[in-house]
Amino acid sequence: MRRMLWLWLGLAACTDAPSEPPAPVVEKAPNIIFISMDTTRADALSCYADTNHWGLPMPADARPSPQTPVLDGIADKGVRFRWALAHAPTTLSSHTSMLSGRDPHRHGVVRNGYAVSADVPMVTERLATAGQYDTIAVLGSSALERKMQMDRGFRRYVDPGPQPPGGMLMLPADEVTRRALAEVDQRPSADAPLFLFVHYYDPHMPWVFAPEALRQRFVPAGYTGFVDGTMESVGRLTAARRQGVLRFGDARAARGRYLAEVAWVDQQVGVLLAGLEARGVLEDTLIIVTSDHGETLDESERHPYTHGPEASLVALHVPLLMAGLGPRFAQMPSGVVVERPVRLMDLASTVSSVAGLGTVHGDGEDLQPIWSGRTSPATQPSFAEATKPMSQESTTTWNNLPMERSVTVAGPQGALMLRLRPSEGGLASLHHLRPGAPAASDVPDARARATEMVGLLRQWDQASPPYRPAEYDKETEAALKALGYLD
């Protein structure tokens, strides 16, 4: 645009015609690079060491530690949200919240395999039409395949392709990066602002994609146990933890395998950003990095090594990093940590606002006022629900109503999370929003606060949609079973 403006001025200086008032210069909207790391709990990033939830005690010198220098660098250059919360511990539902600005009761995605309804507006549709964005998505898992109807508004939606028999297709991070850069190279016009959505699936089990040299940083060379990252070994870990016979070395190896996959994605994010910088894409860009949900490892005896059955802090607490590059984002602070809880459903409004298309999309709020120093609205409750076990699923009301749910609210003693278990007679537990989610028994008015929060959950549930029958075909059903999404 700057070169075109100088060209116009040069032509105007060479003509004797009466000068016309210059046409207003329309500033090009910024590029937005939106990176999603599947199944990445916040404390799998080293920049989240201050919110570590790791469970089973381990000596400090034997404990595998996160190693994510690229993502740490993004946090150093921009804003880190200490308490970003998902609304469901499942991939499709959570990504729908990110791009629609709605929680599960408003977008109606029960869990993986339930396509997004056509009447749920996606922020990508707004970007493509009103914002004239070139919208590209490159996906690492068929959990977000095109037939799940997440592709609305994308010019290019590159999913992994047909699922293999009895399994779900997953692409390693380096292939996702290669495809993303190839798509950027093949854009029909580099003049349009770019919205690039890149989804890395590697932290989701099985933990088998990280190169061996990288894995050796996290798993001791002398380890000879059964944990090799395959689904079979995860099943053995689960059984051992439930039976109370999980060995220290196996638990440590499992953590190491998981952290190696996160570190592998961290490396590939670096390759992606370097490739985009070499192509001139990062000159005026907002980078967003987050995850759809966390992962329970050895800290839960009831539901170890899984996600879906709990609406707990470890299952919902995800990283959220934002950094702006270029003069437009000169006022965006560096190294700032936002303490107040935020929601994944807030991302759609934030993207819409950054693109200049209005500050509201769906039910979320624009997060920019937090980092810009302007007055921010009061923290809104964050609702979440589990999506398993399916043996508890309702067939007369919204499918997930009998499953665990939680709500997080701000308060004078800090943010609190209440977990409610309808299947256990409405058992409720109140927790501080702190590392490890300690019980909030020290809150002076704990009973009154818990009663108030139960009431919020009841109101949320009263507005839930009706029962939604399963719609997935046999191919999708087999894939979901292979990764434990179906009981």
Instruction: Please tell me which residue, 73 or 483, carries the higher pLDDT value.
Output: 73
Order the strands of the 31-37 sheet from edge to edge.
156-158, 134-138, 194-200, 31-37, 285-291, 320-325, 79-81, 336-338
Inform me whether the pLDDT recorded for 409 exceeds 50: yes
Report yes or no: 101 and 345 within 8 Å, Cβ to Cβ: yes
Cα 207 to Cα 210, 229, 255, 260: the distances in Å are 8, 4, 10, 8
Query: Which of 344, 341, 243, 222 minimizes the C-alpha distance to 291?
Result: 344
pTM (global) more than 0.85: yes
Query: Which of 268, 290, 209, 319 minimizes the C-alpha distance to 35?
Result: 290
Inform me whether the pLDDT recorded for 16 exceeds 70: no
pLDDT, tens digit (0-9, with 9 covering 90-100), for 309-329: 999 999 999 999 999 999 999
Q: What is the pLDDT of residue 485?
A: 66
Inform me whether the pLDDT recorded for 204 exceeds 70: yes
Instruction: Please tell me which residue, 458 or 58, carries the higher pLDDT value.
Output: 458
Query: What domains appear along the chain, each with residue ranges and CATH number?
Result: 31-378 (3.40.720.10), 384-482 (no CATH)
Q: How far apart are the first and last CA of the chain?
A: 55
Rounded average pLDDT over 176-196: 97
Backbone angles phi, psi at 343, to 5 degrees: -120, 150
Cβ atoms within 10 A of the Cβ of 125, count? Answer: 17
pLDDT, tens digit (0-9, with 9 covering 90-100), for 224-268: 999 999 999 999 999 999 999 999 999 999 999 999 999 999 999
Please state the separation of Cα 355 from the chain's center in Å: 20
Query: Which of 344, 197, 204 minimizes the C-alpha distance to 264?
Result: 204
Comparing 13-27, 125-139, 189-203, 423-437, the range with the smallest average pLDDT is: 13-27
